[in-house]
Amino acid sequence: MSLLQSSSKPQKYLLFLCSLVISIANFQPAVAHKIEIAGNVGATLHIEPNDNPRAGEPTQAWFALTRKGGKTIPLAQCNCQLVVYAEPHTPKEPPLLEPALKPVTAERYQDIPGAEITFPKPGIYQLQLRGKPNSGASFKPFGFKFDVTVAAGGNAQNVRNVNEDVVQSESLQFPLWAIALPILAVMGILFTILQGRRRGG
């Protein structure tokens, strides 16, 4: 009975650490639109589904362009061009894709630039949106760059990642094992110390 009472506190601590590791391993970052600002124009990028496109599957991308103050810039007011590069790319390299922009209505935005994109392989891509005002529109010319991570899909042309020459850690914001490994190491040290004290006592 005394052994159970003396070991209950360390066991509770170890259980807490175990549940912490499990919760970190199951952590999924919240999905959020990507936002960029250039001059007096802001751009919000959204890609279906849920900003997690899959290779080989057509996906809808749209750009909510707004002037400073929040007024939307419709595609009719913007001479816009969208190009897509596989990362990494060199400055003189031709774009991989040049999707045609069409006016779309999404969320609370009306007639904003949108395009259907089919990413050929999983990996990291860069979407570059450039624009200047059409006659009558009042905003400064802009250029936006959005990095997009594309997952493997059922219709991918090739399961080989388009970025295989790039270090894998660049495609992850922070690997989960880098968080879990030190916690597991600390748990092992604490367990060894507790076992030693129990035997000594």
Residues 23 and 51 occupy one common structural domain = no
Residues 68 and 24 occupy one common structural domain = no
Residues 57 and 9 occupy one common structural domain = no
Q: Provide the domain count of the chain.
A: 2
Domain containing 180 equals 2-28+176-200
The predicted pLDDT at position 39 comes to 83
Q: Both ends of the chain: CA-CA distance in Å?
A: 15
**Block residue for tokens 């790319």:** 89
Q: What is the pLDDT of residues 128-164, one digit of tens each?
A: 999 999 988 889 999 999 999 999 986 545 445 555 5
Beta bridge partners of 78: 133
Residues 96 and 135 occupy one common structural domain = yes
Residues 194 and 157 occupy one common structural domain = no
User: Over 50: is that where the pLDDT of 95 sits?
Assistant: yes
Residues 6 and 98 occupy one common structural domain = no
Task: Give the distance between the most distant pair of CA atoms in the chain.
Answer: 85
Residues 72 and 161 occupy one common structural domain = yes
Report the C-alpha gap between 153 and 55 in whole angstroms. 5
> pLDDT tier at 178 (50, 70, 90 boundaries)?
low
**Block residue for tokens 């996906």:** 59
Report the C-alpha gap between 147 and 100 in whole angstroms. 19
Which of 172, 173, 149 lies closest to 161, judged by CA? 149
Residues 102 and 39 occupy one common structural domain = yes
Residues 102 and 188 occupy one common structural domain = no
Domain of 132, CATH number, reads 2.60.40.3340
Q: What is the pLDDT of residues 2-30, one digit of tens each?
A: 444 444 555 555 554 444 444 444 433 33
